Amino acid sequence: MSLPKLIIAATFVLASQAYAQSTSGTLVVVPAFGEVKHANDQATMTFGVEEQDKDKAAAASRVNQKIKQGLEILRREDPQATIKTQGYYTYPVYPERRPLADGTMPKLLPTGWRVGNYVEMKTTNLGGLPKTVAAGQKVLALNNLQFGLSPATTKKLDDQRIAATYQNLNERIASIAAAMGRKPGDAVLDTVDFEGSGNYVNRVEVAGSAPQMMARAKMAEDVAEPSFEPGETTLQMRLVGKVKFK
């Protein structure tokens, strides 16, 4: 090899060594991301009933009877479901307020009462869900239905989500080391912050508040079974790792 080429080669080696040495002790902040998907295996429903009557006691009595009937039906159709009543309300109904001849507003008295009650039901029996809902709708009104993951499935997927995110962190560290002209083994993981992004909780579907007004649930001889598509839920996780190069 000629002297000029030898000098150039030596210069390149020295420059490479200097470049590698310049990253010694460098602290690198590495964001990582992971996600897992799973078919929804739990349904959360809100049933309700509302009655209106001039007699508050009469309205409340009909609501209580229908809620009792509805609970019996839902328990019979799906014995393993979790059921609870909630949101009992009683509101006065006033007539339209119009000014008197002298322009003053009259004091209104209630002309009736609106009484209602809700039932929340959670079940993992999605196969029998259409039949259960149709049976419940003979007495109660279905106000809301949302699909999600059961606690057991969420726990299982949480382990997979952590593993996927940590694997992505290792892959990014290897890529960063290569870009810096270093070996992955030169990187020492200093800190792993699973809360660094603020986006580490499962944003699963949450049932919203039931509407204040609902159609009265009437007894029906037969209700056609509804069709449902549970879909899937994606669980995501972000973390931030701090890596120091030797």
* pLDDT band (50, 70, 90) for residue 148: very high
Same domain, 139 and 156: no
The string of pLDDT tens digits covering residues 102-145 is 777 777 888 999 999 999 999 999 999 999 999 999 999 999 99
The domain total for the chain is 2
Q: Is residue 3 part of a domain?
A: no
| Secondary structure string (H, E, C) spanning 48-106 | EEEEEECCHHHHHHHHHHHHHHHHHHHHHHCCCCEEEEEEEEEEEECCCCCCCCCCCCC
Mean pLDDT, range 207-227, rounded to an integer: 52
The string of pLDDT tens digits covering residues 79-95 is 999 999 999 999 999 88
Stated pTM of the model: 0.66
Q: Is residue 18 part of a domain?
A: no
Mean pLDDT, range 156-168, rounded to an integer: 90
Give CA torsion, residues 158, 161, 165, 166, to 10 deg: 60
CATH number at residue 66: 3.30.70.360
Q: Which of 146, 163, 184 is the last residue of a domain?
A: 146
Same domain, 183 and 196: yes
Whole domain around residue 30: which residue ranges?
A: 23-41+149-209+222-246
Same domain, 198 and 165: yes
Q: Is residue 9 part of a domain?
A: no
- Residue 37 has what DSSP assignment? E
Q: What is the pLDDT of residue 21?
A: 53
Q: What is the pLDDT of residue 80?
A: 94
Q: What is the pLDDT of residue 204?
A: 35
Q: Is residue 70 part of a domain?
A: yes
